[in-house]
Structure 1
Amino acid sequence: MSTSHDGLWGIGELAARAGVSVKTVRFYSDGGLLPEAARSAGGHRRYGPGSLERLRMIRSLRAMDLPVSAVRRVLDEDEDTAGRAGGALEDAVAGQLRTLGSQLRALRWREAALRSVQECPPAERPARLRLVGAVTSSPDTAPLARFWRGWLPPRMPARSVTAFLEVAVPQPPEDPDPGQVLAFAQLYAMVSRPCDGSAGQPQPHAHRDAGARESAVLYAGLAEAYALAATEMRGDREPCPGEALDGFVDAYASARTTADTPDFRRTLSRQLAVDPRIDRYWELTAELTGPPEPTPGAAHDWLCAALDADTGTALPA
């Protein structure tokens, strides 16, 4: 209860009841979060008993690290709804949880990066530090997406590009181990360095002069063939002719509007053999994504080996 004759408290009394400093009360008052009820004849601030509960609410909200703007919205809504919790508080808490989650993910990534440096041999630590230090604590996959946009046919439809990127660009784990941080850093370095001996990204033979329709047909067919090959690989089956290989060859034949013949298969086998390879990308992707699961690159290699076996162009063991 107030000890003054007018039922109001001075700033010092309010601060004492709330267990805060006068400076804190003044800060919230000056910011408009804690309106004063009146001023004394001498110009001193006076607060009503309701200010104590409001001040406690402000402190609780600020203890959750909510910004002043969010605190203001919650308090304004609290007045409008007569103290019943509303959407402003729910939104503020949800937003703070999202922020905290991002911060925790960044801290987990930073910890794993430091452990990666700590656990490698002392002579390798400077190079390891430069490698993992080039990746932010909230890893950005945009460089990986740019790498693939340079690899894919330039006139490939946006929908097909998006579908491929969802498979080809691995998402960094939220709670990585040191090996996964290292794998992502190596991927980042791989796709960020300039292409040696070329003004741009090397293009597979199948991509050259491919129009929008041809590239869409090709990659839709490849996606189905890779899925079939992945099933064979999970069963530890050696590369061999079958439905997966037929779908693989048909994807190329359909994109080129030609028939799947023995001659076409032999020509395709030779062309795929000299295409630029990015096996290391897929190896690192497998390390990053955790439990062994056939990547598109591994499926492609399996199908190329099956094609070689089918056409008799496989190298002797």
Structure 2
Amino acid sequence: MRPDALIPDDLSPDGLWSIGELAERAGATVKTVRFYSDRGLLPEAARSAGGHRRYGPEALDRLRTIRALRTLDLPVPDVGRVLDAEGALEDVVADRLRDIGSHLTALRWREAALRLLQDCTPGERAERLRLIGAVTVPPSTEALARFWRRWLPPRLPARVRSVVVEQAVPQLPDDPAPHQVLAFARLHAFVSGPCPGDAHRDDCQPAVHRTGDGGRPAVLYTGLSEAFALAAPAQRAGSAPHAGDALDCFVGAYAAAYGVRDNPDFRAGLHRVLAADPRIDHYWQLVGELSGGAEPNPGTAHDWLHAALAAETAVR
């Protein structure tokens, strides 16, 4: 076979295409070819004597690849990454899928918010609009995390604090119903307001959170997490609050935190202290509405265990 037989018939004697010829072969415009050339995505093979761009046959495949990537809405810099680095396509696609997922989530939250406004009475609309307007789209749980970092004892070790915050801050649905949008908006308003209870921070904290009481908050919260896990099966089963391992672990966490023995007098005193402590039941109620109420949360577990303690101490 003659060497020149490998050269397509429509190439010029030097084996190259003009920019117009390349554009025609690719079904693109000259402006498109020039755009990608100017950004370094489509290198020219040479210049004619008159300074015009010339391209080899490999430019046609490269241009087709560029246009295919652009139809997927990949930004020009990402197209360059794919063309220049082997294996970059997988990373670029993964990044793009994350971006699209975030965008779709934002659209679903906006749609649910609009339906929430559409389906309410005129008297409810102003309040709902105010609540929704204070929330970013897609929504962020950072305000909830900040609330818990303020609410928890200041002496709590960072490791324990992180675990508690992770348990207390709910996961947001990607495709919310209108009532879930309203629950989150109310939750956001709740945590963004003043500390529940009194205006002074120390007065609106549970007794165990306050400084100077000699307790060990890390021991308490580690024990409470275990007690909540033990109580979860009974809550899922719809069992009434009752004595058992979960309650013993719950009371034992408080006893260990203060270095005292668990006995009937301690349990009676603990019940009185917990009954008088500031509550954030509204937080947990809204978390339940947001999550669908299918799973116990630390708030419902605490209430269940406190009710079990109250029932036990009432019998004695």
CA distance in 2 between counterparts of 1:211 and 1:168 reads 24
Task: State the shift of 1:219 in Å.
Answer: 0.9
* 1:200 match: 201
- Rate the CA distance shift 1:291–1:198 in 2: closer, same or farther, 3 A: closer
Q: 1:21 aligns with which of 13, 24, 29?
A: 29
Task: State the shift of 1:229 in Å.
Answer: 2.3
Alignment of 1:265-284 (within 5 A): 265-284=267-286
Alignment of 1:16-95 (within 5 A): 16-77=24-85, 86-95=86-95
Q: Deviations over 1:104-155 (max 9, x none)?
A: 1111121111111111113322221221222111211111111111111111
Q: Deviations over 1:34-88 (max 9, x none)?
A: 11122222221111121111111111111112222222222223xxxxxxxx411
- Rate the CA distance shift 1:308–1:197 in 2: closer, same or farther, 3 A: closer
In structure 1, list runs of 5 or more residues that go unmatched. Answer: 78-85
CA distance in 2 between counterparts of 1:153 and 1:210 reads 11
Task: State the shift of 1:291 in Å.
Answer: 4.5
CA distance in 2 between counterparts of 1:264 and 1:110 reads 51
CA distance in 2 between counterparts of 1:233 and 1:76 reads 56
Task: State the shift of 1:15 in Å.
Answer: 1.2
CA distance in 2 between counterparts of 1:240 and 1:75 reads 65
Alignment of 1:245-260 (within 5 A): 245-260=247-262
| Deviation larger for 232-241 or 282-291 | 232-241
Task: State the shift of 1:213 in Å.
Answer: 7.7
Q: Check conservation: 2:215, 2:258, Cα contact below 8 A.
A: no
Q: Check conservation: 1:269, 1:313, Cα contact below 8 A.
A: no
What RMSD, in angstroms, separates the aligned Cα atoms of the two structures? 2.1
Code of the aligned partner of 1:231: P
Between the aligned residues of both structures, percent identity stands at 62
Q: Check conservation: 1:155, 1:210, Cα contact below 8 A.
A: no
2:161 corresponds to 1:161: yes
* 2:114 match: 114
Q: Check conservation: 1:157, 1:212, Cα contact below 8 A.
A: no
- Rate the CA distance shift 1:41–1:176 in 2: closer, same or farther, 3 A: same
* 1:130 match: 130
CA distance in 2 between counterparts of 1:277 and 1:70 reads 51
Q: Check conservation: 1:73, 1:88, Cα contact below 8 A.
A: yes
Q: Deviations over 1:249-284 (max 9, x none)?
A: 111111000111222112111111110111111111
CA distance in 2 between counterparts of 1:9 and 1:237 reads 80
Code of the aligned partner of 1:138: P
Task: State the shift of 1:304 in Å.
Answer: 1.4
Task: State the shift of 1:312 in Å.
Answer: 2.1
CA distance in 1 between counterparts of 2:313 and 2:245 reads 16
CA distance in 2 between counterparts of 1:3 and 1:311 reads 95
* 1:241 match: 243
TM-score normalised over the length of structure 2: 0.90
SS at structure 1 position matched to 2:115: helix
Q: Check conservation: 1:205, 1:275, Cα contact below 8 A.
A: yes
Task: State the shift of 1:211 in Å.
Answer: 8.5
SS at structure 2 position matched to 1:46: strand
Q: Check conservation: 1:183, 1:287, Cα contact below 8 A.
A: yes
Q: Check conservation: 2:224, 2:253, Cα contact below 8 A.
A: yes
Code of the aligned partner of 1:224: E
* 1:262 match: 264
CA distance in 2 between counterparts of 1:222 and 1:208 reads 17
SS at structure 1 position matched to 2:54: strand
Code of the aligned partner of 1:64: L
- Rate the CA distance shift 1:236–1:75 in 2: closer, same or farther, 3 A: closer
- Rate the CA distance shift 1:234–1:92 in 2: closer, same or farther, 3 A: closer
Q: Check conservation: 1:155, 1:211, Cα contact below 8 A.
A: no
Task: State the shift of 1:223 in Å.
Answer: 1.4
Q: Check conservation: 2:180, 2:290, Cα contact below 8 A.
A: yes
